[in-house]
Amino acid sequence: MSSLDKVISWIDATREQSIEKMARLIRQPSVSSTGEGVEECAGILVEMLTEVGLDAKVMPTKGLPAVYAERIVPGTPTVIFYGHYDVQPVGDLDLWETPPFEPDIRNGRMYGRGTGDNKGQLLTHIIAVDAFIKNCGELPCSVKFLLDGEEESGSINLAPFVEENKELLKADVCYFADGPIHYTGRPQVLFGCRGIIDVEIVLEENIRDCHSGHYGALIPNPAWRMVHLLKTMKDEDGKVLVEGFYDKVRPMTPAEEEVIKAIPFDVEGYFQGVRFPGTGPQWDPVEALKAHMFQPTMTIAGLASGHTGEGMATIVPAKAVCKIDMRLVADQDPEEIFELIEKHVAKHLPEAKVLRHGKMYPSRTELELPISKAIIGAVESAWGVKPIVVPSSGASCPEYVFTDILDIPTISVPYANPDENNHAPNENFDLDLFIQGIRTTAHVMDTIAKHKDW
Ligand SMILES: [Zn+2]
């Protein structure tokens, strides 16, 4: 029996203990938006990591703490596991079938806040480590853990933390599990995500709303002026007109273009439940995926001015506000994009103020790297089925701290069920997939240990 086989049998044999470990983490609230239970949860993780044989500690950041752990096996490559132990607020308690912090098992799933996103998923790596040490006496490769306590609040302190601890966090590859498997039931391997910059344009022109008959002809109307400004920012085909916006967009590689064609994408199903039939363009699946992964967006998230309530109000509004978020792709820099927006607004509507809210950099790891191919292979051997290779997620996460600050390939393989209800009531994690996640991490560690071509 190979060491990996021994490890896999042990993972299957200790299923109940693993499930109990997940329940222990779920019982401890850790809501970063309020801070509830976060420090306590960090403490439990340090205990769990120490129990399996790692050097673990809570590390302060400028906000909520991070958890760090390591076990170095001299002469072996190092994988750093990223995960986040904070959770979303629970929302409306009436919508939960069982209380969010009292883990409940039904239909082969564990229900509770943080099961899928992300405590259950990060736990798979801890259990895989345990499996190797218990069955082989030592790990096949060196491991580090960086567990974020603020991901659900935008990970605002993660980049400075990683910057300050570059030496400590040094690794050959970063691996993490977050989000769901593909809706077809196949695993997916992701190589990046989009970045984001969130801005607000505020135009205050009049001291108060004014009578449109007495003032309409003579004073400026901030609503119209905002509309005119917005028209200079994006055309009707969706192209952003802000000068320099697309300058740094990294072109698709032939390998990326190739894998996109192999991604199953049910266009009808995607739009169902969100779009009225017949509205908007009819997308070709491949073009849709390209837009989703490789094109930046500029989205009006909110637009407000004057009277939008019931009945009429004949006024010239005092002010207009527009909130815009832009999803960015490699190698766009949110700071630079913000400056371009500022410059654009200064030119077209100098009276408007541009405020900045959240930002995150995009991240992308090359599919063609030997380690990328090796991890795709590891996932295939764990599942017995070819994984779907996804060059980039359309959403944003703090992956760039690994690809850009630590300068290492970063690959994620989501383990949760597609209906995990993350960020929603009745969040859950399918227990078979949870165990399959542990097996997958074990395969990945085994592959990393044997990989030579770094
Ligand atoms: Zn989340």
Same domain, 143 and 239: no
Distance from the CA of 74 to the center of ligand 1, in angstroms? Answer: 35
For residues 76 and 64, give the distance between their C-alpha atoms in angstroms, rounded to a whole number.
32
From 398, 433, 450, 453, select the one nearest 176 (Cα to Cα).
Answer: 398
**Burial (CB count within 10 angstroms: exposed 0-12, middle 13-18, buried 19+), residue 347:** exposed
Q: Are 131 and 15 in contact (CB under 8 A)?
A: no
Q: What pLDDT was estimated at residue 269?
A: 87
Final residue of a domain: which of 232, 259, 290? 290
Same domain, 85 and 112: yes
For residues 115 and 138, give the distance between their C-alpha atoms in angstroms, rounded to a whole number.
29
pLDDT above 90 (res 1): no
Same domain, 46 and 188: yes
Distance from the CA of 249 to the center of ligand 1, in angstroms? Answer: 27
Same domain, 352 and 386: no
For residues 204 and 382, give the distance between their C-alpha atoms in angstroms, rounded to a whole number.
59
Q: Buried b / exposed e across 100-135, counting CB within 10 Å, b at 16+?
A: bbebbeeeebbbbbbbbbbbbbbbbbbbbbbbbbeb
Distance from the CA of 59 to the center of ligand 1, in angstroms? Answer: 22
From 411, 416, 408, select the one nearest 444 (Cα to Cα).
Answer: 411
Q: What pLDDT was estimated at residue 274?
A: 86
Same domain, 153 and 279: no
Say which CATH number the domain at 232 has.
Answer: 3.30.70.360
From 174, 214, 224, select the one nearest 371 (Cα to Cα).
Answer: 174
Q: What pLDDT was estimated at residue 115?
A: 98
Provide the residue range defining the domain that includes 254. Answer: 250-290
Distance from the CA of 181 to the center of ligand 1, in angstroms? Answer: 15
What would the mean pLDDT of 250-266 be, rounded to a whole number? Answer: 95
Phi first, then psi, for residue 113 (nearest 5°) are: -70, 125
Residue pLDDT, tens place only, 260-300: 999 999 988 888 888 888 887 789 999 999 999 999 999 99
What would the mean pLDDT of 19-39 be, rounded to a whole number? Answer: 98
Phi first, then psi, for residue 316 (nearest 5°) are: -100, 120
Q: Are 396 and 193 in contact (CB under 8 A)?
A: yes
Distance from the CA of 238 to the center of ligand 1, in angstroms? Answer: 29
Distances (CA, A) of 443 to 5, 7, 180: 10, 9, 19
Phi first, then psi, for residue 431 (nearest 5°) are: -70, -30
Same domain, 214 and 346: yes
Write out the DSSP string of 214-228: HHTTTS--HHHHHHH
Same domain, 30 and 150: yes
Q: pLDDT class for 426, splitting at 50, 70, 90?
A: very high
Within its chain, how far is the Cα of 98 from the centroid? 27
Same domain, 25 and 159: yes
Q: Are 415 and 177 in contact (CB under 8 A)?
A: yes
Distance from the CA of 88 to the center of ligand 1, in angstroms? Answer: 7
Distance from the CA of 176 to the center of ligand 1, in angstroms? Answer: 13
Same domain, 326 and 397: no
pLDDT above 90 (res 419): yes
Helix (H) or strand (E) holding 341: helix 334-348
Write out the DSSP string of 152-199: GGT-TTHHHHHHHTHHHH--SEEEE--SBPPTTS--EEE-EE-EEEEE
Q: pLDDT class for 373, splitting at 50, 70, 90?
A: very high
Same domain, 423 and 403: yes
Distance from the CA of 114 to the center of ligand 1, in angstroms? Answer: 8
Q: pLDDT class for 228, splitting at 50, 70, 90?
A: very high
Tally of domains within the chain = 3
Distance from the CA of 148 to the center of ligand 1, in angstroms? Answer: 12
Final residue of a domain: which of 316, 342, 360? 360
